[in-house]
Amino acid sequence: MGKITDLELKKILRDGKEKATAENKQVTKGLGSGLLLVIQKKTGKADFYCREPYQKLGSAEKLTLKNAYAKVQELKPKEKTRAERSNSPILREFLTSWLEEQFKKGEMRDQWYMNNKSLVRFLDKCKLLSVRLDKINRKLVYDKISLLNTDNEQAHNAYASFQLLERCLYDAELRGVIEVNPLTKNPFKRPKYEHRKSVGYTNLKTEFFEPLSNPIIPYYIKYFFLLIALSGRRFTEVRELQWSEIDFDKKLIILPPERHKTGHRTGLTQIDPISDIIIKLLLLVKQDLENEGITSKYVFATRDKRFNGAIGENTIRPYMKLTNGNHDLHGFRSCAQTYVKDQGIDTETAELLLAHDTRTDTMKAYDRELGDERLQKIRKASDLWCRYLIRNQLTAPYLTILRLANVDVDNLE
């Protein structure tokens, strides 16, 4: 709607005051170009208002129509010029700095940070990182990502990359870098994960330990594989295990809420009893780090002297290809649980061995901590599993490691 004339304004004022009096209600009339005329119901007083941002400009009796329109133009948010829009940052710059900022704030764990960095590389393959933020739209992102969405693994990358991009652009919108986040809904379906591959516990020697006895595998990687197998812990929990989380006297691994799978939801500390065999293996790892002059808070510290973190996931995963994908490291959890159940261990203890809490909320309210008796049951199950692996499944290189750790592998009870 265009602007009105002074003559038209007089007619609108007269009709508006009559209507306000007759109907006993406030009358609001648009005058075009974002200008409003508001007439009060009781007094019949008329005022000019700016539509957006909504703000009173002055009385219609004192302020001329021309000046009212001029004030509206002053208050209106100015549109960005073409030159200003072209200065919008490139996605690569903004996304990289945003990830680092989130990591420094503590809102992103090491593992999540590394996973997101791999998603950035995926977005680079999709040729999206060179696009300016103000040019990004949902169709562009969908078309680019769909080109690489060809198999199950890429389907996971497509879904996760879109989520990462959506969170980043949401933050860009809050900061005023872009006017609106164009990625409000994920067009990619969440792909279904295949069940982690695992062989039966009687076949671990041929399917896992024999292929991974290869001399090309560094000894500290074999330490890692051995601890995963003996403890039945999750991959990330072992890879990022810290010395401060191990109580050697009480034979416990104590993980704070931010370090285990359900901690962010429950806020509870995870307490894992471990056998004497695992304690001796950890002491061997500690001694080797001291001999190499490596000082780190991590049990499995990186050997790259440029960093002081945990060993990288990409350092471990390639060696798993030697098993031809028949057995995933996560599969040791199901093997351990199946074996101890077969040996007569009750279901609750078998679940707690894997840090699965099957108790209801009511039970947790009355039973907040694991008692000494239950800890002993879990430690017994852990020891039972360790002894089975040593007697029946471990190959010579892994038995040698345990001998170095002062485990009497030849005379187990």
Verify cis geometry, omega within 30 degrees of 0, for the bond prior to 53: yes
- 158 with 217, same domain: the answer is no
> Is the Cβ–Cβ distance between 386 and 275 less than 8 Å?
yes
CATH number for the domain spanning 53: value is 3.30.160
Angle (deg, nearest 10), helices 91-105 and 152-174: 80
Same structural domain for residues 67 and 93? no
Residues 357 and 298 in one domain: yes
8 A C-beta contact, residue 406 and residue 307: no
Q: How many domains does the chain have?
A: 3
Residue 185 inside a domain? The answer is no
Residues of the chain with pLDDT under 70: 1-2, 77-87, 106-115, 149-154, 186, 188-198, 264-265, 306-307, 325-327, 357-371, 413
Q: What is the pLDDT of residue 109?
A: 59
Q: Domain boundary residue among 36, 54, 79?
A: 79
**Buried b / exposed e along 74-106 (16+ C-beta atoms within 10 A):** eeeeeeeeeeeeeebeebeebbeebbeebbeee
Distance CA 355, CA 76 (A): 59
In angstroms, the CA 273 to CA 383 distance is 10
Residue 240 lies in a domain: yes
Last residue of some domain: 31, 59, 79? 79
Residues 209 and 108 in one domain: no
Q: Is residue 411 part of a domain?
A: no
Give Cα 177 to chain centroid, integer Å.
24
- Of 62, 79, 96, which residue constitutes the final position of a domain? 79
C-alpha distances (whole Å) from 359 to each of 43, 175, 367 are 69, 44, 9
Burial of 254 (0-12, 13-18, 19+ CB in 10 A): middle
If phi over 0 gives left and psi between -120 and 50 gives alpha, with beta otherwise, what is residue 387? alpha
Question: Is residue 348 domain-resident?
Answer: yes
Q: Specify whether 251 is located in the same domain as 375.
A: yes
Residue type, 187: P
Task: Find, among 152, 161, 234, 146, the residue nearest to 193 by Cα.
Answer: 152
Separation CA 324–CA 392 (nearest Å): 22
Mark whether 138 and 230 lie in a shared domain. no
Structural contact between residues 241 and 299, judged by C-beta atoms closer than 8 angstroms: yes
Look up the CATH number of the domain holding residue 214. Answer: 1.10.443.10
**35-39/27-32 β-pairing:** antiparallel
Shared domain check, 119 and 206 = no
Domain check: are 74 and 110 in the same one?
no
pLDDT of residue 152: 57
Q: How far is CA 1 from CA 62, 68, 191, 338, in A?
A: 24, 16, 50, 75
Domain span at 151: 88-174
Residue 271 CA to residue 355 CA, distance in Å, equals: 8
Closest CA to 342 of 385, 285, 392, 405: 385
> Does residue 192 belong to any structural domain of this protein?
no
156 and 32 belong to one structural domain: no
Q: Is residue 28 assigned to a domain?
A: yes
Say yes or no: 266 and 336 in one domain: yes
The predicted structure's pLDDT at residue 284? 92
In a domain, 280, yes or no: yes
In a domain, 61, yes or no: yes
Same structural domain, 29 and 104: no
Q: Which two tokens stand for residue 238?
A: 């072992």
pLDDT of residue 22: 83
Q: What is the pLDDT of residue 195?
A: 46
Do residues 66 and 31 both lie within one domain?
yes
d(CA 338, CA 333): 9
